[in-house]
Amino acid sequence: MIETRRLGHATFSTPELNQQIDYYTNVLGLAIVERTATRCVLATKVGQECVVLEAGDKPWMTGIALQVAPGTDLGELSAMLTKEGIANERRSGITPGVKDALAFKDPKGTQMEVYAEYDFAPDDGIRTGVMPVKLGHIAWRVNDVHKLTRFYCDMLGFRESDWIGDHFSFLRCGVDHHTMNFARYPEERLHHFAFEMKDVPDLHRSCDELTRHKVQLVWGPIRHLVGHNVAAYHRNPEDHRVELYAEMDLMKDEALGYFEPRPWHEDRPQRPKHWPKDTWRSQWGFGSFGTFPGYP
């Protein structure tokens, strides 16, 4: 099993490369690490590469990069995948920060790139836009939630945090409540992706920053029930739903088996569980009275 430690970067195909670069740098406040005529690598201001843009025919998330523990032998991981019948190959220099990676595809066809060693991006000295701390999680619409959940847990070392009914799974690979989500839908595609802000006041600042750029919120600010993060959602120029959040539940000790106690938790202690299928989307905020089957 590959023991994923954190979410690295997401790769997007885009027919409007310059437009997307403008959004990610001027609105979200990411830093350009490398740029060519057909590709751009962007990082947070604290040095973590988080988005790779590649010129393509349609706007689509095509790949995900995951980091395993430094020092991990990628050759051993390759042999393990091969034994399981999963085609894979070594790749070098996938980004300025990742010199060596192992590439393969997950069951829905998304390109996965796993790496062990990472070089942080330098500080570009520019302070503008939202400026999130990290790429926090990615949510997918899929036909078979259980199949994807099992693959990510059994092959990539993710752990189940919560379920809503049998149609929405929340998976973690570190202390954060979720790094990957899978929700059952007829059409398979990206649901949303999310960036973590420093804290709730910084999330409020980010909403003002979006307004300054004439970017309208489509949901929030709200506090979710599952995961309990405070979140605000908008859509980027290619209609991808983007979440900005803070105060997500944390499981700092896997042996204890519960999330760090918070005054807004429903259970004492708050442990991973199956929530009812009609669980509300949030404790408070715009849209609080909807349920997850109608999650936008």
State the CATH number of the domain containing residue 275.
3.10.180.10
Residue 26 lies in a domain: yes
**Which secondary structure element, helix H or strand E, spans residue 71, and what is its range?**
none
Whole-structure pTM value: 0.95
Q: In terms of Cα–Cα distance, which of 121, 119, 152 is closest to 138?
A: 152
Per-residue model confidence as pLDDT tens digits over 246-288 = 999 999 999 999 999 999 999 999 999 999 998 988 899 876 5
- Note whether 156 and 238 are same-domain residues: yes
- Note whether 179 and 249 are same-domain residues: yes
What's the pLDDT at 289? 45
What's the pLDDT at 1? 83
Q: Which of 88, 115, 142 is the last residue of a domain?
A: 115
| Rounded-to-integer distance, Cα 129 and Cα 10, Å | 20
Residue 129 lies in a domain: no
Instruction: Look at 290 and 149; give whichever has higher pLDDT.
Output: 149
pLDDT band at residue 162 using 50, 70 and 90 as cut-offs: very high
What's the pLDDT at 155? 94
* Amino acid symbol at 202: D
Residue 280 lies in a domain: yes
Query: What's the whole-number mean pLDDT along residues 105-115?
Result: 97
| Rounded-to-integer distance, Cα 180 and Cα 114, Å | 15
- Note whether 70 and 29 are same-domain residues: yes
Three-state DSSP class for residue 206: helix
What's the pLDDT at 286? 72
Residue 121 lies in a domain: no
- Bridge partner residues of 113 (DSSP): 65, 103
Residue 183 lies in a domain: yes
Q: How many domains does the chain have?
A: 2
Answer whether residue 293 shows pLDDT above 60: no
- In contact, 177 and 23? CB cutoff 8 Å: no
Answer whether residue 27 shows pLDDT above 50: yes
Domain that holds residue 259: 134-290
What's the pLDDT at 281? 87
Three-state DSSP class for residue 162: strand
Distance in angstroms between the alpha carbons of the first and the last residue of the chain: 34
pLDDT > 70: percent of the chain? 97
Answer whether residue 15 shows pLDDT above 90: yes
Average pLDDT taken over every residue of the chain: 95
pLDDT band at residue 291 using 50, 70 and 90 as cut-offs: very low
Residue 122 lies in a domain: no
DSSP state of 199: S
